């Protein structure tokens, strides 16, 4: 659905809600006896209809979730470590800077088109935001990089191109330089 379509649906729902509020407000001008039994039956019917609508909504949207099935093995695992104003991307687990493993750090990695890639994202210093942008500049996926914890983010690359990795969490004066690249070929 286009953004304008969503906007028009919002306007229609807002109009319906406004009309319901107006009806309820106008109906309270005159006093009358309340039949509590009838009111409870209306509440029960409303609850059943609302529950049914939510179950239908769940059944329609659950299969369209953008996340791959957990049982599916990724074609490639890319280890990501955020460190002071840089992302380190590697196909082998990344050690700390004190381990002397700085040589295998790279700010780019290459993956084949059509592959399911699991990014294992952590950080060596402070919180960072790992975000992956398509070649057109749209946000594809994002997760938080936190010290002492590894977040797993799975992305299925269906289109070739250069995907940019940016930090979404302000991490200091060099935050704007914190970039990485995933080349999909």
Please tell me the CATH superfamily of domain 76-184, with its number. Answer: Cupredoxins -  blue copper proteins (2.60.40.420)
* 127 close to 171: Cβ distance less than 8 angstroms: yes
Residue 138 CA, distance from chain mean position: 13
* 99 has pLDDT over 70: no
Of the pLDDT bands very low, low, confident and very high (cuts 50, 70, 90), residue 70 is: low
Q: Which residues contact 67 (CB under 8 A, 6 or more apart)?
A: 154
Q: What is the DSSP letter of 161?
A: E
Which residues of the chain does CATH 2.60.40.420 include?
A: 76-184
Mean pLDDT of 104-132: 86
pLDDT digits (tens, 9 = 90+) for 5-39: 999 999 999 999 999 999 999 888 887 888 899 99
The string of DSSP codes covering 105-120 is -BSEEEE-TT-EEEEE
Phi, psi at residue 76, to the nearest 5°? -150, 145
The C-alpha atoms of residue 171 and residue 126 are separated, in whole angstroms, by 7
Q: Please give the DSSP secondary-structure letter assigned to residue 149.
A: B
pTM beyond cutoff 0.75:
no
Average pLDDT, the chain: 86
Query: pLDDT of 34-64, one tens digit each?
Result: 889 999 999 999 999 999 999 999 999 888 7
Q: What distance in Å separates the CA atoms of residue 70 and residue 76, rounded to the nearest whole number?
A: 15
Residues 9, 13: Cα–Cα separation, whole Å? 6
Residue 82 pLDDT class (50, 70, 90 cuts): confident
pLDDT of 97: 46
């Amino acid at each position: 659905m286009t953004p304008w379509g969503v906007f028009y649906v919002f306007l229609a729902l807002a109009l319906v809600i406004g009309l319901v509020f107006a009806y309820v407000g106008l109906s309270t001008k005159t006093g009358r006896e309340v039949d509590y039994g009838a009111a409870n039956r209306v509440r029960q019917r409303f609850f059943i209809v609302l529950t049914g609508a939510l179950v239908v909504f769940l059944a329609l949207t659950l299969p369209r979730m953008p996340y791959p099935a957990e049982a599916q093995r990724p074609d490639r695992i890319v280890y990501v470590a955020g460190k002071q104003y840089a992302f380190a991307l590697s196909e082998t687990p990344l050690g700390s800077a004190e381990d002397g493993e700085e040589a295998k750090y790279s700010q780019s990695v290459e993956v084949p088109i059509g592959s399911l890639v699991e990014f294992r994202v952590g950080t060596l210093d402070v919180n960072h935001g790992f975000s992956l942008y398509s070649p057109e500049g749209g946000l594809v996926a994002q997760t938080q990089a936190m010290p002492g914890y590894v977040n797993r983010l799975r992305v299925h690359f269906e289109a070739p191109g250069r995907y940019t990795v940016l930090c979404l969490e302000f991490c200091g004066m060099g935050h704007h330089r914190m970039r990485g690249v995933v080349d999909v070929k």
